Structure 1
Amino acid sequence: MSWLATVAEFVAAFVIVLGAAFALIGSWGLVRLPTLMERLHGPTKATTLGVGGILVGSILVSRLEQGAWSGHELLITLFLFITAPIAANMMAKVHLHRLRLRDAAISPGPAGAPPEPGGEAGWATYEAPQPDTPVATSRE
């Protein structure tokens, strides 16, 4: 075994262990955090990075063992990184709408209840832009 293969195995092992640590921390956050909005952070950030790291390590191992790159793990990783944030965004929007409608089945959490509809504070997830809203055309 050459020194390059040994280094590649150590890199693959490190990426897999790092991914497993992220997945463990994200899963622990999913279980331990009290409200829905806080629990969204565990699976959408840490666990996504964890599973992505495990899959990247798996790609490296398959390259070392079989001598060919594995496209399956790469496609799974891309699908995971695309769908997890979108799903979390949709869940957060539904939660905000239910809070706004004063659904008794959910608690507002530490941030408190959202503002009343029609008030001064508009939420981008609930209201359409007002006609007199200025549009930013340049970065200053």
Structure 2
Amino acid sequence: MTEIVISIFLILGTFVVFSGTLGVLRFPDVYSRLHAATKSATLGVSGILIGSFLFFLYAQDLVSGKLLLGIVFVLLTAPVGGHMISRAAYRSGVPLSEKTIQDELNSERDYY
């Protein structure tokens, strides 16, 4: 049963990383691409690390603190990094796609 759970985490993590790669290749502008890259980094890498942690826990009877720290740091840094990069792109004037319907940051208020 544990092999099935570990395999599910590894397969789902790999699928999310692969989907994020396709999103980076197919999406029209930097903001959409960054969203795909951030989601795949957060969810995909976390899924793979959780699967690895469970493997070492149940197959080797070993609690890996490095894997736990890796999961925590990926969950904390990837979304913040993606947000900051997209915010810097917006402030430097990188244009939105023509398909974008609404630009919530384009107003008279200053969002600092």
Same structural fold, with TM-score higher than 0.5 when normalized by the shorter chain: yes
SS at match of 1:121: coil
Give yes or no for contact 2:56–2:63 (8 Å, CA) kept in 1: yes
Q: Which has the higher helix share?
A: 2
Identical positions, percent: 30
The aligned counterpart of 1:121 is 108
Give yes or no for contact 2:17–2:44 (8 Å, CA) kept in 1: yes
Structure 2 length as normaliser, TM-score?
0.86
The CA deviation at 1:93 is: 1.2
- 1:92–1:8 CA distance, 2 compared to 1 (3 A): same
Structure 1 stretches of 5 or more lacking a match? 1-6, 100-105, 126-140
Structure 2 stretches of 5 or more lacking a match? none
Cα distance in 2 for partners of 1:72, 1:32 equals: 34
Instruction: Write out per-residue CA displacement over residues 104-137 of structure 1, whole angstroms, 9 at most, x where no aligned residue.
Output: xx4332338874xxxx632414xxxxxxxxxxxx
Choose which of 9, 30, 44 in structure 1 pairs with 2:3: 9
* Structure 1 segments of 4+ aligned residues over 3 angstroms from their partners: 111-115
The aligned counterpart of 2:90 is 96
Give yes or no for contact 1:23–1:48 (8 Å, CA) kept in 2: no
Structure 1 length as normaliser, TM-score?
0.70
Work out the number of aligned pairs and report it: 109
Cα distance in 2 for partners of 1:49, 1:123 equals: 32
Asked which structure has the greater RCO (Cα within 8 Å, sep 6+), the reply is 2
Larger Rg: 1
RMSD: 1.9
